[in-house]
Amino acid sequence: MTNGGPIIRVQALRKVFRVGDVDVEALRGVDLSVNKGDFVAIVGPSGSGKSTLFHILGGLTAPTSGSVSIDGTDLATLSENGRTRVRGSKVGFVFQKYNLLPTLSARDNIAIALDIAGKATEPDASFQDVLRFLGIEHRLDHKPRAMSGGEQQRVAIARAIVNQPAILLADEPTGNLDTASSDAVLALLRDLNQRMGQTILMITHNPEAAAYANRTVKMRDGRIVS
Ligand SMILES: Nc1ncnc2c1ncn2[C@@H]1O[C@H](COP(=O)(O)OP(=O)(O)OP(=O)(O)O)[C@@H](O)[C@H]1O
Ligand SMILES: [Mg+2]
């Protein structure tokens, strides 16, 4: 339930990593609101806290302080189990390196996300349209090594959205792809956003990739600067 408010609301978010006897301040007070249906590009220099922010939004990492609410669920109040449920149901992740399981077919890589979320291991019929839309419906029996990088990333996108997450987080999704595959994946993300209303946050170093989004957020030294 969002009551028409932002689907993501981050307030005064801080994350300190203890490395040996040194504190690394990865996030130093981040405030961010994202509306349902937004496509946001997150840009900023290496080490500015972009991935840390995603890990917290995705329930992978607990914040040091501050509040994070996703689709009406306050992550700060959740136990480890609660965060695991958020990962399974509210958030889909796409990474630079696809992170598909090499021994499984594309179909089983997608099905495993359903399994983890405690659902039937066959996508429902409407998901066939998504697979067709992603252009991978004829590649489902292939293992990752038999697919191009762009195809693997499209399978990773299918896996990320099969549970109909409130938000899709993509951390440099085109970082490993050649220009043509990169353009294809970015066009798909834009279509997912425009046609299916999928809310997307995408980290990128590439201004051309950021141009596919409808809003750009810049980070520096653990803060949002614009
Ligand atoms: N698990 C961790 N343990 C210790 N320090 C960490 C950890 N994760 C991130 N950091 C530190 O937090 C800061 C922010 O890192 P983060 O990975 O969020 O940056 P980034 O903006 O994603 O950078 P890049 O563009 O290189 O991916 C860096 O100083 C990093 O070294
Ligand atoms: Mg990063």
For residues 150-166, average pLDDT? 93
Mean pLDDT, rounded, for 185-213: 94
- Is residue 146 in contact with ligand 1, taking CB distance under 6 Å? no
Half-sphere exposure of 105 (CA within 13 A, CB side): 10
Ligand closest to 14 (CA) is 1
For ligand 1, whether the C-beta of 48 sits within 6 Å is yes
DSSP state letter for 177:
S
Please, what are the domains in the chain?
A: 8-100+167-224 (3.40.50.300)
pLDDT at position 102, please?
A: 96
Closest-CA residue, ligand 1 atom 30, reads 47
Q: Which pLDDT does position 77 carry in this prediction?
A: 79
Which one, of 144, 28, 29, 159, lies nearest residue 87 by Cα? Answer: 159
What one-character DSSP code corresponds to residue 214? S
**What pLDDT is recorded for position 6?**
93
The answer to whether residue 48 scores a pLDDT higher than 70 is yes
Q: Is 46 in the pocket of ligand 1 (CB under 6 A)?
A: yes
Rounded to a whole number of angstroms, the distance between the first and last alpha carbons of the chain is 28
Tokens describing residue 46:
């290496």
Give, for ligand 1, the residue of 16, 22, 48 to mutate: max count of ligand atoms closer than 8 Å to Cβ.
48
Return the bridge partners of 224, or none: 219
Q: How confident is the model at residue 118 (pLDDT cuts 50, 70, 90)?
A: confident
Angle separating helix axes 149-161 and 179-196, nearest 10 degrees: 20
For residue 193, the surrounding DSSP H or E stretch is: helix 179-196
Ligand 1 proximity of 22 Cβ (cutoff 6 Å)? no
Confidence of residue 87 (pLDDT cuts 50, 70, 90): confident
pLDDT, tens digit, 9 for 90 and up, residues 94-109 = 999 999 999 999 999 9
pLDDT band at 4 (very low <50, low <70, confident <90, very high): low
pTM for this structure?
A: 0.92
User: CB-based contacts of 94: which residues, under 8 Å, 6+ apart?
Assistant: 153, 156, 157, 160, 168, 169, 170, 171, 173
With bands split at pLDDT 50, 70 and 90, how would you rate the model's confidence at 122? confident
Name the band, by pLDDT with cuts 50, 70 and 90, for residue 2.
very low
Cα–ligand 1 centroid distance for 173 (angstroms): 17
